[in-house]
Amino acid sequence: MVTDAEWTRIRRGLCFGQVVEGTVVRVPRPGAIGIFVDIGLSVGGFVDIALLPVRSDDWPAEGTIAAFEIWCADDRQQIRLKPSDSRYLCADFTDFVERFRPDWPSQIGHPIP
């Protein structure tokens, strides 16, 4: 865990949609919650189950190195990620965005508040 000041500093350096390379470090309950990703910062990354394929067999395994996009970074001191590789992204991503985050396309490239 980092200090609030460090978390604020980290967030200031991030933009929505920014692509980062990361290593999947933990898949605690395949098909249940998501995956944890080391993106080389002092806070971890996480991909929520909602953004991953329905079949957990299609998720990236521990040790997989892949590109991810910054999806969210809120008060939880965790960077939420979206897989850049369509193999690791939910099949209905377009519908998901329209339903739950319709402003996503206009947020890409903007700093995280």
Which structure tokens are listed for 102? 């319709």
- Position 55, amino acid: R
Residue 94 lies inside a defined structural domain of this protein: no
In this structure, is the dihedral angle defined by the CA atoms of residues 54, 65, 83 and 70, taken in order, positive or negative?
A: positive
Residue 113 lies inside a defined structural domain of this protein: no
Residue 71 lies inside a defined structural domain of this protein: yes
Residue 107 lies inside a defined structural domain of this protein: no
The CATH number covering residue 16 comes to 2.40.50.140
The total number of structural domains in the chain stands at 1
Residue 98 lies inside a defined structural domain of this protein: no
Residue 61 lies inside a defined structural domain of this protein: yes
How many other C-beta atoms are found inside a 10 Å radius of the C-beta of residue 76? 11
Residue 33 lies inside a defined structural domain of this protein: yes
Domain enclosing residue 57, as ranges? 4-85
CA 55 – CA 45 distance, rounded (Å)? 21
3-state secondary structure of 5: helix
What's the pTM?
0.93
How many other C-beta atoms are found inside a 10 Å radius of the C-beta of residue 49? 17
Residue 65 lies inside a defined structural domain of this protein: yes
Question: What is the pLDDT tens value at each position of the chain, 113 positions in all?
Answer: 899 999 999 999 999 999 999 999 999 988 889 999 999 999 999 999 999 999 999 999 999 999 999 999 988 899 999 999 999 999 999 999 999 999 999 999 999 98
